[in-house]
Structure 1
Amino acid sequence: MTDRPFYVLLGPDRAGKSSVMAEMASALPGWQTVSTDDDLVAGEHGLVTRLRRMVVKDVLPGLGTAYSPDFLAELLGAAVVYLRDQLERQEPGVPVLMDSYYYKILAKCRLAGLDEHPLYAWWRSFPQPREVIYLDVSPETAWRRSGRGARLNPLEYFGPRPAWLGFESYQTNLGKLMLEETGRLPVTVVEERPGTAATAAAVREVLAA
């Protein structure tokens, strides 16, 4: 266990986590934010962002043919270890807000066909947060935010190409798996808000409490 207090911001695709994390990075004095988003990864860790782009550009189009789900899990595991390492590098006593942790990656690996994998037990042995803040969003809103499928990658929908039914089914199952994985932890659900500012304000209220 870690003596570094941390909280996890979680939610389905297009819930607005990246935008909220970016706002929180400057709106939480005395806090640290940890994420694999490009804007929140320091330059010396550029490999993390390059790996993320390669997964989307090279691995996902060939998933199931050129690359196996096991290969995908190993690559995504690098992001999980990066988040854990960043947590351990923080000063003791400094609170941390972390984006998704391993919960979302594990759920996506399961949806890609890896219902069980030795990596899962290792990830579950990592330090656990004091609380999970779950940003809820309706599939309809998420679909609209994705440009009605135009900006989706293959780990955001079921089927050979983006379509509403495949997206809705994937996001519904993703949410269930993430909440199942965090079921032993305190979870506060932030209901859908009209815009980043309102959502970030709701998250700040939870953290202040």
Structure 2
Amino acid sequence: MSKNEFWVLLGPDYSGKSSVLTRISETAPALQPVSCDDALIAPEHASYLERRDALLAFAREGNQRQFQEAGISLLRLTAQCLLEQISDVSASGRIPVVDSYYYKVLSKAQLLGTVDQNTLGWLASFPQPTGLLYLDVSPETAWQRCSEGSDLNQAEHYGTAPSKDAFLRFQKDLRHRLKANIAHVPAIDIAPASGIDVLVDVVVDLITQQRKRDAYHQAS
């Protein structure tokens, strides 16, 4: 494995990233998912979850200024937690496959107005991935996957109350923002597949084949 090698799996909300990463953790021992989701975060970083929940509660209960402060803090907290987990996995000899990296939380912060120039400058110093796999889903399909709004959180739609229109508009804008924030990264688009096993096979195969090509070029 090359020094600082890591891959990113990115996509809009409800694109299937967490399901793919969970299955990778079960079936691909050379790869190690890195995530801040409750079910996938490394146990030694579980304190992140309490700090995240405290920031979300602070944002919900406060005024607009508190919402913005909480958003900036959450962006920084998530990015740092992911970076530390990437380092831990790399030190173990496995290949990190990162859930969204900082790109998604940054994109949402930009849409919700909870990012500042200092944070943007800080994120610009972060290492960039070896490669990025973009798992797409249409906003309409995502709406169906979230039980037509019953499973939404406040960072998945515009406004304070979820509605189909607020969700679809946010998800469309999120897709555009994600693409803008990864324009500098070598990315491969993955078309929606008929099942999670197919997606997992595609992701693992793409990483494996690209690593072989990179190794060949480095040796020649």
1:199 corresponds to 2:199: yes
Task: Give TM-score scaled by structure 1 length.
Answer: 0.90
| Residue in structure 2 matched with residue 74 of structure 1 by the alignment | 73
Q: Cα distance 1:131–1:109, how it changes in 2: closer, same or farther (>3 A)?
A: same
Q: Cα distance 1:107–1:183, how it changes in 2: closer, same or farther (>3 A)?
A: same
- Aligned 8 A contact 1:24 1:200 in 2: yes
- Aligned 8 A contact 1:60 1:154 in 2: no
| Residue in structure 2 matched with residue 184 of structure 1 by the alignment | 184
| Residue in structure 2 matched with residue 153 of structure 1 by the alignment | 153
- Show the 5 A alignment for 1:41-56: 41-56=41-56
Q: Cα distance 1:121–1:153, how it changes in 2: closer, same or farther (>3 A)?
A: same
Q: Work out the CA distance in 1 between the residues paired with 2:115 and 2:45.
A: 30
Task: Give TM-score scaled by structure 2 length.
Answer: 0.86
Partner of 2:9, secondary structure, is strand
- Show the 5 A alignment for 1:73-112: 73-89=72-88, 90-91=90-91, 94-112=94-112
- Aligned 8 A contact 1:17 1:99 in 2: yes
Q: Give the fraction of aligned pairs with identical amino acids, expressed as a percent.
A: 32
RMSD, aligned CA: 2.0
* Counterpart residue identity of residue 112, structure 1: L
Q: Work out the CA distance in 2 between the residues paired with 1:158 and 1:63.
A: 17
> Would you tell me which structure has more helix in proportion to its own residues?
2
- Aligned 8 A contact 1:35 1:99 in 2: yes
Q: Work out the CA distance in 1 between the residues paired with 2:116 and 2:4.
A: 29
Instruction: Tell me how many residue pairs correspond in the alignment.
Output: 207
* Counterpart residue identity of residue 170, structure 2: Y
* Counterpart residue identity of residue 3, structure 1: K
Q: Work out the CA distance in 2 between the residues paired with 1:7 and 1:156.
A: 24
* Counterpart residue identity of residue 98, structure 1: V
Partner of 1:83, secondary structure, is helix
Q: Cα distance 1:98–1:52, how it changes in 2: closer, same or farther (>3 A)?
A: same
* Counterpart residue identity of residue 80, structure 1: A
Q: Map Cα deviations across residues 33-78 of structure 1 (whole Å, 9 max, x no partner).
A: 211122222333221122333344x144346447231322112311
| Residue in structure 1 matched with residue 214 of structure 2 by the alignment | none
- 1:130: how far off? 1.0
- Aligned 8 A contact 1:70 1:114 in 2: yes
1:208 corresponds to 2:220: no
Q: Cα distance 1:6–1:148, how it changes in 2: closer, same or farther (>3 A)?
A: same
Q: Work out the CA distance in 2 between the residues paired with 1:168 and 1:60.
A: 23
- Aligned 8 A contact 1:60 1:155 in 2: no
Task: Indicate the larger mover: 59-68 or 69-78.
Answer: 59-68
Q: Work out the CA distance in 2 between the residues paired with 1:54 and 1:25.
A: 28
Q: Work out the CA distance in 1 between the residues paired with 2:152 and 2:11.
A: 16
Q: Work out the CA distance in 2 between the residues paired with 1:12 and 1:64.
A: 27
Could you list the runs of 4 or more consecutive aligned residues of structure 1 that deviate by over 6 angstroms after TM superposition? none
Q: Which runs of 5+ in 1 are unaligned?
A: none
1:127 corresponds to 2:127: yes
Q: Which runs of 5+ in 2 are unaligned?
A: 210-220
